[in-house]
Structure 1
Amino acid sequence: MEVLRGMVDYRDVLRLFISVAAIFNTNGVTSRLLFAAINTSVNITCNTTQHEKQFQIVWKKNETLLTTADGVLQDGTFSIKNVSLSHHGTYTCQMGREGRVLEFITLTPGYPPGKLIISCRVVCFSKPVQCSWRLAEETFLTTTYNVTYTPNKKTQGGELPVCRRTIDMMCEIPNSIPLFQQIPERLTVTASNGLGSSSNTLLFILEDIVKPDIPEEVVATRNCDNFNLRVTWKPPATWNSTIFLKYIVRFKMLNQLDWNEVTVVQENQLNHKISNEFSEMIVQVAAQDANEDGEMSSWSMVAKTTACPHKGKPTVISVSSCSGFSQFHPKKTIHSVQSKGSQSVTSLCALKLALLNLGILLLA
């Protein structure tokens, strides 16, 4: 089996021939695993002796007889022109339909490993570095990973630290990495399966990969006397560095699309006052290293303010139902409107205006 090294895109190796991963022998019948790249052609050849070749070779897949419609049958070879996931299964070749089974072949279609994506993060400069990796494309094959960590220098005890595997696709580096170094750390991951392998290396400096956890206990309190909004929070429990954090506070009205942002950079300041006249607001807080190294944390859960009791304000009332009056203003005095040589406005209209005026005076 050929092993592919370096950064490999599976599309560059789709023409790769089948690869035999293992050969077994059960009760005198050979069993083997066979890998084939999807969208390529594969020839499954039966392991026969010269004597057995004199008999007709019959192929079955999962105990179902195969015909030329399933693939090309020739000289004891079953050919698949365009391999897909549907071709996965156990193929058997035997001498005639009821004859002796000569070999079991398990065909597994898939892709060799392609591009590897590696990332490392530390939530505080004193905490272990967490690294993870993933393949950009699915291989549909069992894939194993080998991880190599190359530090900038040895630990104080002279031992070479390693990235200890924690869970699948993750490892942890004990944090003995110094700050402000010029030469980066190196983490190399190699992915391998039955069709090949690929590798990638991440170079990183500690302060470039810091990303604090989310600020905790974010609370927004409204002062209903002056409508000021006071936001308070606590730093992430995982942050115990001597380097302090800055905080980004964003807020908006409940149904507004765009956020407003302010940055709090004073050391140990864990609150901020927002002056506005809107009673219902939502607020979120994020944290970042004060030197702006690394990344900003994710946003906290939304904190929502409660609405203040409504305070009445002078109201402008429009009146359009009475002839001769287009608008009524509370601050204006109502006078009888008469036409020269004619009667006053109808008593019904005057009554309406009088009642309206009385209601406004009571509100005031």
Structure 2
Amino acid sequence: MKWMVIVALVLPAWSSPCSSTAGRNGEEGLCHVQHGALGTDLLLRCNAPGGRVEWRVNGTKVAASEAAAGGDKDQLLLQNVSPAQEGEYSCHHPGTGKTLRRIRLRVGSPPEKPAVECWAVSYPQTVNCTWKLASEPRLETYFITTYRHGMGAKENECVQPGAGASSCSISDIQMFSITPYVLNVTAVNPLGATMNLFPFIVEQIIRPDPPEDLRVSPIPGESKKLLLEWQPPSSWPFPQYFPLKYFIRYTREGANSNRTIGPYEQTSFILTGIRPRAVYHVQVAAKDFTDYGDYSTWSPLVSGTPWTQP
């Protein structure tokens, strides 16, 4: 199946504040923000009408490089730029010291393709999607998140919880649809934009959150049994209509291996045949009752000891 998507990006006005340090004559000049890609050569331009200028970085004088293009003397060439070269550059009249231009240099990389995953943790209400970049671009990066249900369908926003978030949610889910949803996550920063298309069928990505409030309790008079009780994940909205099944993993303290049993439909279980006075560590996982999707992660470990004769 081939997907063809046309994305129109409206880039923001990238900005980074310059310091309030004034020039020698009290004139700050116009402050510009310039972005450079790590490891490349970067040319800073003063655009001075008279030719030669004096360059400073964070107030300290630096030697100007001879520019190859046009022989201009008001340019500063930075080779193989690195984060150490970030800062506020300014060019000045060599005689009066008047500030002619100020440049805030930011160094980083264009964003890599986001790694995306989506799970229906609140089926059938919501699909939650997350993403991350393989490496930190060092520049302000934001994400455009949209989705379609079928290629001819309207493009909708996948709602992010806030600015700079790395997650979004889709709430108008159509159950048992064989038409894939396609999520488009586009990472954008001043050096470029990269997108990832993530198609999915809702029922194939069902994965509940782990069960909650697991309790491991002794049973009075029973030295070889433990009572396990838990609750469905609070993010699973309708357990009475969309039930879950549960798996139990337990191990005796000091043992080299654990044991997994299940699935069970109920939210309690009596663990039998265990050693008296021994400490047992227990976890529970959940899955959609109809076996769609994947198991949840295991619940946090809870420990307990069988009843001991007073």
Q: TM-score, normalised by structure 2?
A: 0.79
Residue 309 of structure 1 deviates from its aligned partner by: 3.7
Q: Does 1:163 align with 2:158?
A: yes
Q: Does 1:178 align with 2:175?
A: yes
What is the 5 A alignment of 1:85-104? Answer: 85-96=83-94, 98-104=96-102
Higher strand share: 2
Distance of 2:33 and 2:235 partners within structure 1: 48
Residue 39 of structure 2 aligns with which residue?
39
Residue 235 of structure 2 aligns with which residue?
238
Residue 287 of structure 1 aligns with which residue?
286
Distance of 2:47 and 2:190 partners within structure 1: 21
Change (3 A) 1:152 1:61: same
Answer whether contact 2:57 2:90 (CA < 8 A) is retained. Answer: yes
Residue 86 of structure 1 deviates from its aligned partner by: 1.2
Residue 39 of structure 1 deviates from its aligned partner by: 1.2
Residue 300 of structure 2 aligns with which residue?
301
CA deviations 1:15-46 (Å, max 9, x no partner) are: xxxxx968xxx979443221111111112122
Q: TM-score, normalised by structure 1?
A: 0.68
Residue 258 of structure 1 deviates from its aligned partner by: 2.0
Residue 314 of structure 1 aligns with which residue?
none
Q: RMSD of aligned C-alpha atoms?
A: 3.1
Residue 341 of structure 1 aligns with which residue?
none
Query: Percent of pairs identical after alignment?
Result: 27
Change (3 A) 1:277 1:29: closer
Residue 348 of structure 1 aligns with which residue?
none
Residue 214 of structure 1 aligns with which residue?
210
In the alignment, structure 2 segments of 5+ residues that lack a partner are: 7-12, 16-21, 68-72
Distance of 2:227 and 2:284 partners within structure 1: 13
Distance of 1:153 and 1:178 partners within structure 2: 18
Distance of 1:97 and 1:143 partners within structure 2: 41
Residue 119 of structure 1 deviates from its aligned partner by: 2.0
Structure with larger Rg: 1
In the alignment, structure 1 segments of 5+ residues that lack a partner are: 7-19, 312-364
Higher helix share: 1
Change (3 A) 1:243 1:192: same
Distance of 1:153 and 1:272 partners within structure 2: 51
Distance of 2:144 and 2:75 partners within structure 1: 37
Residue 292 of structure 1 deviates from its aligned partner by: 2.9
Change (3 A) 1:153 1:275: farther
Q: Please state whether the residue corresponding to 2:203 is helix, strand or coil.
A: helix
Residue 269 of structure 1 deviates from its aligned partner by: 5.7
Distance of 2:251 and 2:263 partners within structure 1: 17
